[in-house]
A and B are shown apart, each in its own frame.
Chain A
């Protein structure tokens, strides 16, 4: 999966700008939610993905619309990168009928099967079993679809995750398990709660490859995910990718983060920020001009502004809406 782009390759340049747009959209979406949540207008819990954008974007760059992902409670970034409608997501988080799930799911249950997003998931470690189902279905039907689950470092210790690693390896399923290790399971340091240095090493015990990736570096994620997904698609079986990454906000909005060192986030933002590294890389390589990326920043800011304005103005669901989108007709 070569990462070669030449300045004359307009397709390459356009693609580089689009990946930046995806990462910037996630960042703007999350930072705006951080501000808006403090006003008290948003119901329920919100877990923000800011800081981890390169992972979702680098992985999803290799997935087609009919490939499936299963996400986590921190799922906004995965949903945006997989192609969920940004305005529909914002309305969903505001609990409005115009939302992507008609306001019934909220932040932690955003799903859109049409774009292959099986859903954010309030169950920690809930995603891996779902993509085993994707993999089994693809295998039985003989398609070349791939399932990718996202799980955190905390979720990596759940039985569901470990059972899924076994199942996928034993049945040779076209699945990629992405572990987003952001250093904390809620408020507990991974160093304290997780045995071993690298979660990726657990893959060895199940007979599948496990790779550690710098999750701040889009191109590192892109390259490794490309190999893992191509391998799964070609019948090579499952693999596990551990993304070493950081989240910029608390476990949930309102988390005081007393478990983090002073200036920890500021230092990460100034040295490892994925958007900063990406901009520096593609401009230094002469592939994209700063001005092109500045234009994306402006466009994305306007899009998120509109999304928030429209979500706030959208109508609330009505009592009758409780009787739709359910398994039994009333």
Chain B
């Protein structure tokens, strides 16, 4: 039986950025609707079963109401939906545990609804099961904002084995981060902050920032990857990442004006940029403060801690645009009729 996993983080999109920037509020009811639309895409191309992390009343209530109402009315055939039987902690442990459960159930792909942080956690635990990363907010660099129905079709075609290989399935880059004995990862960026405590986690005060590492650099994005993108663009497929030394604009070699967060355009000083090759381990300048991984302060460190950052191969991701181009070029969805009774 072809199955797909879904991890929808019900807690994403409620942090301090609602106060200090114009970051969007992503409603859990809309996340539930997104999962419903995802199911229609998955079901249309033959996925029979979807395993999903429990998501609480706001999200799963919206989803189950949709399933009861729309499915009956339209006579749709959707994949059988089953929630994982797991104890919820309301933190990152949930996504980690859910990814392990999904691997055990042999899913062909995992769809993640969340931000950079959720994807970071899932990617650490999902091995080589391809991820389809759907953004549930405006503040993300790794996942894409796109229609879940189409993402469901693309993910279903990968899970059923009808679409294989690059560029439809891509190996993303990742940083392995070591702070003393502690090991962690980042998909988009690692940034040193002078904040002494993890506190409210989000990172938006550019005056506090020091060393920064990015796996890709996109001037059209928001946040650190955009800062790097204005200095030296790096594609998601390029075989290198980038290191930047940040500082106050007044003392910097280069000053870039960038959207550091939704609703917040600011100037950032950059003094020193260089490429980081795959496998290269770069020591970070010692300092007291925090390390932010993918935009959130995660680790409190002392100036006595040895910190290293290494660029390594990361998770496999489903590239929806590439899948759909491949599908069109090979006429995979031409000459067929969606069968609401039978699934495909």
Residues of B near A204 (CB, < 8 A) are 25, 27
Residues of A near B162 (CB, < 8 A) are none
- What's the least CB distance linking A238 to chain B, in Å? 11
Complex Cα distance A214/B27, Å? 20
Q: Determine whether the beta carbon of B288 is less than 8 Å from that of A223.
A: no
Q: A3-B197, A5-B196 are in contact. Are A227 and B10 (CB under 8 A)?
A: no
Q: Determine whether the beta carbon of B90 is less than 8 Å from that of A212.
A: no
Q: Is B194 an interface residue (CB 8 A)?
A: yes
Q: A197-B57, A219-B199 are in contact. Are A224 and B16 (CB under 8 A)?
A: yes
Q: Is B28 an interface residue (CB 8 A)?
A: yes
Residues of A near B208 (CB, < 8 A) are 2, 4
For A284, give the chain B residue with the smallest CB separation.
Answer: B300
- What's the least CB distance linking A288 to chain B, in Å? 11
Give the interface size bracket for A toward B: 20 to 34
Q: Is A200 an interface residue (CB 8 A)?
A: yes
For A236, give the chain B residue with the smallest CB separation.
Answer: B19
- What's the least CB distance linking B30 to chain A, in Å? 11
Complex Cα distance A195/B205, Å? 34
Name the interface residues of B190-236: CB closer than 8 Å to any CB of A.
194-201, 205, 208
Q: Is B259 an interface residue (CB 8 A)?
A: no
- What's the least CB distance linking A175 to chain B, in Å? 14
Q: Determine whether the beta carbon of A211 is less than 8 Å from that of B18.
A: yes
Q: For chain B, what secondary structure do more than half of its interface residues adopt (helix, strand, loop), or is it mixed?
A: loop
Q: Is B65 an interface residue (CB 8 A)?
A: no
Q: Is B15 an interface residue (CB 8 A)?
A: yes
- What's the least CB distance linking A289 to chain B, in Å? 15
- What's the least CB distance linking A42 to chain B, in Å? 35
Q: Is A306 an interface residue (CB 8 A)?
A: no
* Interchain CB contact (< 8 A) of B201 among A4, A220, A287: A220
Q: Is A177 an interface residue (CB 8 A)?
A: no
Q: Determine whether the beta carbon of B59 is less than 8 Å from that of A227.
A: no
Q: Determine whether the beta carbon of A209 is less than 8 Å from that of B19.
A: yes
Q: Is B326 an interface residue (CB 8 A)?
A: no
Q: Determine whether the beta carbon of B90 is less than 8 Å from that of A213.
A: no
Query: What residues make up the interface of B, taking CB atoms closer than 8 Å to A?
Result: 10-11, 14-16, 18-20, 25, 27-28, 56-59, 90, 194-201, 205, 208, 288, 300, 302
> Which A-B residue pairs are the 6 nearest by beta carbons?
A219-B199, A219-B197, A223-B200, A212-B14, A197-B56, A209-B18
Given A196-B58, A220-B198, A227-B19, output 11 extra A-B contacts at Cβ < 8 Å.
Answer: A2-B194, A4-B194, A197-B57, A197-B58, A198-B58, A201-B27, A211-B15, A219-B199, A231-B19, A285-B197, A286-B302
**A-B contact list, 29 entries, CB within 8 Å:** A2-B194, A2-B205, A3-B195, A3-B199, A4-B195, A5-B196, A6-B288, A191-B56, A195-B58, A197-B10, A197-B57, A201-B14, A201-B27, A201-B58, A204-B25, A209-B19, A210-B14, A211-B14, A211-B15, A211-B19, A217-B198, A224-B200, A227-B16, A227-B19, A239-B19, A285-B196, A285-B300, A285-B302, A286-B288
Query: What residues make up the interface of A, taking CB atoms closer than 8 Å to B?
Result: 2-6, 191, 195-198, 200-201, 204, 209-213, 217, 219-220, 222-224, 227-228, 231, 239, 244, 281, 284-287
